[in-house]
């Protein structure tokens, strides 16, 4: 079914809770409806939105916003060690994680409680606690309006990286992801080496899938603001990846600076939250925007009245302070519209 909403305030549809008007929001349930949507409602530019947990709206939106709502989970194949599933783009990500954990399927448990829809998960290759969506993605199915056809892109062609994929580059604004195909494992593979996960898991009695999911949820609830209460978009900035030589110079000044190896031997990942905290900005606010007091990587809508432009201006000041103190540029992770 196709549902069209005209001249709507998108405040309740975006996690930062900014007020902007959307000229047209088009929800659809079935892939068959996409050609009809493009024939009847799209006469130029368009955009796709999931739960808008990673979009900051800075202006009213004149272009139609397409929202996939297919929530189906279909088992494609099941072997003794692996299960392959196809999941509709409109399913809540955390419902998928719960579905897997309830069936003793390993792979997504460290990504518990990340807000958003399944269709957005490949876009920035969501990641947390030492896991990334790409670890379990086999392929991504999408509609390609330019040719009015559907294509399936194997994971090796998605150019997945740290919060990166082809969907943020050459395919940005050109495809609508309709489903994601995941491979999950029946063989236990606990990944506990990140942050407090191991301690939280042990305190729950050991590395079962359920305990890992509950541990990750508990850690996230303690650290991150609840979007239902305080508008935010999770990590506002990416963790910067710098040359090892740059990291060495910084470590000589700040021996306690967190730093992590990357896939490239001469590159090191730093913690943007730590850099912001060292600038004395944790808990700092101006006007309607602030830095969260438990996680400096998160910017929040402190009063509920912030506009997107205010958030961008505040983010610019945070970037500038980090640049002045450390000489490092921290990039925004959030999509600005």
Ligand X SMILES: Cc1cc2nc3c(=O)[nH]c(=O)nc-3n(C[C@H](O)[C@H](O)[C@H](O)COP(=O)(O)OP(=O)(O)OC[C@H]3O[C@@H](n4cnc5c(N)ncnc54)[C@H](O)[C@@H]3O)c2cc1C
Q: Six-digit token pair at 283?
A: 């808990």
Catalytic, out of 13, 163, 213, 321: 163
Measured in Å, how far apart are the chain's first and last C-alpha atoms? 27
Nearest approach, Cβ of 300 to ligand X (angstroms)?
10
Q: Six-digit token pair at 308?
A: 């997107």
For residue 177, report the phi and psi dihedrals to the nearest 5 degrees.
Answer: -70, 125
- If you ran DSSP here, which 8-state letter would residue 297 be given? T
Nearer to ligand X, 212 or 250 (CB): 212
Q: Is 81 designated active site?
A: no
Q: How far is CA 55 from CA 37, 196, 228, 325, 333, in A?
A: 23, 28, 16, 28, 9
- Interface characters, 190-229, with ligand X (x: CB under 6 A): ----------------------------------x--x--
| Binding residues among 174-193 for ligand X as defined by CB under 6 A | 176-177
Q: Considering the rule CB under 6 A, would residue 273 count as an interface residue with ligand X?
A: no
Q: Is 74 designated active site?
A: no
Q: Considering the rule CB under 6 A, would residue 126 count as an interface residue with ligand X?
A: yes
Among 22, 85, 101, 120, binds ligand X (CB under 6 A): 120
Catalytic, out of 92, 214, 305, 333: 333
Catalytic, out of 27, 213, 235, 321: 235
CB atoms within 10 A of CB 245: 9
Among 34, 37, 52, 247, binds ligand X (CB under 6 A): 52
Nearer to ligand X, 67 or 250 (CB): 67
Instruction: Give which of 311, 303, 299, 245 is closest to 272, Cα–Cα.
Output: 299
Q: Considering the rule CB under 6 A, would residue 121 count as an interface residue with ligand X?
A: yes
Instruction: Say whether 326 sits in a helix, a strand or coil.
Output: helix
Torsion, CA 305, CA 331, CA 276, CA 160, rounded to 10:
110
For the chain, the farthest-separated pair of C-alpha atoms sits apart, in whole angstroms, at 61
Q: Considering the rule CB under 6 A, would residue 289 count as an interface residue with ligand X?
A: no
Q: Considering the rule CB under 6 A, would residue 48 count as an interface residue with ligand X?
A: yes
Q: Is 141 designated active site?
A: no
* Footprint of ligand X (CB under 6 A): 15, 47-55, 68, 89, 114-117, 119-121, 123-124, 126-128, 167, 176-177, 224, 227, 232-234, 335
């Amino acid at each position: 079914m196709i549902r069209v909403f005209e001249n709507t305030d998108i405040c309740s549809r975006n996690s930062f809770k900014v007020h902007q008007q959307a000229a047209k929001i088009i929800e659809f349930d079935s892939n068959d409806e996409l050609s009809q949507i493009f024939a009847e409602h799209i006469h130029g530019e368009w955009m796709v939105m999931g739960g808008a947990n990673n979009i900051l709206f800075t202006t009213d939106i004149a272009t139609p916003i397409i929202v996939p709502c297919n929530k189906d989970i279909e088992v494609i194949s099941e072997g003794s060690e692996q299960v392959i599933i196809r999941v509709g783009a409109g399913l809540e990500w955390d419902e998928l994680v719960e579905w897997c954990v309830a069936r003793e399927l390993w792979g997504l448990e460290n990504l518990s409680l990340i807000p958003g829809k399944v269709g957005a998960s490949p876009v920035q290759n969501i990641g947390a606690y030492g896991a990334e969506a790409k670890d379990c993605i086999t392929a991504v199915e999408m509609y390609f309006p330019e040719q009015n056809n559907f294509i399936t892109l194997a994971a090796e062609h998605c150019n997945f990286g740290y919060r990166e994929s082809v969907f943020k580059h050459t395919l940005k604004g050109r495809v609508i992801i309709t489903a994601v195909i995941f491979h999950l494992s029946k063989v236990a593979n606990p990944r506990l080496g990140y942050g407090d996960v191991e301690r939280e898991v042990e305190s729950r009695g050991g590395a079962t899938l359920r305990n890992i999911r509950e541990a990750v949820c508990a850690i996230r609830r303690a650290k991150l603001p609840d979007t239902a209460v305080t508008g935010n978009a999770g990590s506002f900035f990416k963790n910067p990846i710098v040359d090892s030589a740059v990291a060495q110079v910084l470590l000589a000044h700040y021996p306690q600076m967190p730093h992590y190896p990357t896939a490239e031997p001469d590159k090191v990942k730093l913690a943007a939250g730590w850099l912001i905290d060292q600038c004395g900005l944790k808990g700092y606010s101006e006007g309607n925007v602030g830095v969260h007091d438990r996680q400096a990587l998160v910017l929040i809508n402190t009063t509920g009245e912030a506009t997107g432009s205010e958030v961008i201006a505040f983010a610019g000041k945070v970037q500038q302070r980090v640049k002045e103190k450390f000489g490092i540029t921290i990039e925004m992770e959030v999509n600005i519209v």
